[in-house]
């Protein structure tokens, strides 16, 4: 089941404004008939690490896909990100794989790459019929001073990030439990599923509020802060 973000519609609109307006439309590069081969050894280079790539092949297409994890870089410089991805693209083209389709995702940390929430800061895509690759970016705010907002005075950055992860996990848990009780395989369960999910989310978030002695307004503010600054989200527990 597709994982949904935990914020309200207004927060979704705010998040959208944080993303690069020049972001290109996603190009679908997967193929159900692909045969996938994983290369076991990670490629380590100065300043970043390339995850073990996956090469998917069909009679007419060879797709090379990999995640790139930055080392010692906040990933907020668009030009640096673009040049890095283009450099890697050139190297891949000269490799024995010789792909005619490439999909590269650049992440600030390994934790970002494993969240499953598309938390990349830059992405290079080249479809089979494209002449040149396209590089897209997602823009996030640069971390601000700790005393910028009142609630930050009593809650350190580490604690706020911990709360942010618990909020994500609360949303995930409520969604999974609602799905088990009212499976969306039945159209008649849709309203029941939604109502039950919201009830559970409210309950789980109230537990977070009690644990950290924060009110609902502060919890929402931390949710937005985490999205604006692209804090790593925990991977969904199955």
Q: Where exactly are the structural domains of the chain?
A: 21-137, 150-228
What DSSP assignment string belongs to 126-191? E-TT-SS-EEEE---PPPPPTTSSGGGGTS-HHHHHHHHHHHHHHHHHHHHHHHHHS-TTSGGGHH
Q: Please tell me the pTM assigned to this model.
A: 0.72
CA distance 80 to 83: 5
**Residue 4 Cα to chain centre, angstroms:** 12
d(CA 8, CA 201) in angstroms, rounded, equals 12
Unique residue bearing structure tokens 């999974």: 176
Q: Can you name the CATH fold of 21-137?
A: GMP Synthetase; Chain A, domain 3 (3.30.300)
Determine phi and psi for 103, rounding to 5 degrees: -140, 110
Residue 130's φ and ψ, nearest 5 degrees, are -80, 140
**Residue 20, beta-bridge partner list:** none
Share above pLDDT 70 across residues of the chain, in percent, rounded to a whole number: 76
pLDDT, one tens digit for every residue, the chain (238 residues): 444 444 343 344 344 434 333 333 333 333 333 444 444 445 544 589 999 999 999 999 999 999 999 987 778 888 899 999 999 999 999 888 889 999 999 999 999 999 989 999 999 999 999 999 999 999 888 765 554 566 777 889 999 999 999 999 999 999 999 999 999 888 889 999 999 999 999 999 999 999 999 999 999 999 999 999 999 999 887 6
d(CA 112, CA 109): 5
């Amino acid at each position: 089941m597709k994982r949904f973000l935990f914020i309200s519609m207004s927060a979704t609109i705010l998040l959208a404004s944080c993303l690069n307006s020049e972001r290109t439309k996603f190009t679908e590069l997967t193929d159900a008939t692909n045969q996938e081969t994983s290369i076991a050894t990670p490629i380590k280079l100065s300043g970043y690490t390339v995850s073990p790539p996956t090469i998917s092949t069909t009679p007419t297409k060879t797709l090379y896909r990999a995640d790139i994890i930055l080392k010692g870089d906040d990933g907020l410089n668009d030009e640096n990100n673009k040049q890095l991805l283009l450099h890697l693209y050139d190297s891949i083209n000269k490799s024995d794989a010789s792909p005619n389709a490439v999909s590269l995702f650049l992440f600030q940390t390994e934790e970002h790459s494993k969240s499953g929430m598309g938390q990349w800061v830059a992405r290079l895509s080249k479809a089979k019929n494209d002449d040149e690759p396209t590089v897209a970016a997602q823009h996030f705010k640069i971390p601000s001073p700790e005393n910028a907002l009142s609630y930050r005075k009593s809650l350190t950055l580490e604690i706020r990030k911990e709360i942010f992860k618990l909020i994500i996990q609360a949303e995930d848990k409520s969604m999974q439990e609602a799905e088990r009780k009212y499976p969306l395989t039945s159209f008649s369960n849709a309203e029941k599923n939604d109502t039950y999910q919201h009830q559970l989310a409210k309950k789980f978030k109230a537990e977070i509020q009690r644990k950290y002695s924060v009110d609902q307004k502060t919890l929402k503010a931390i949710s937005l802060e985490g999205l604006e600054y692209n804090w790593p989200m925990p991977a969904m527990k199955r």
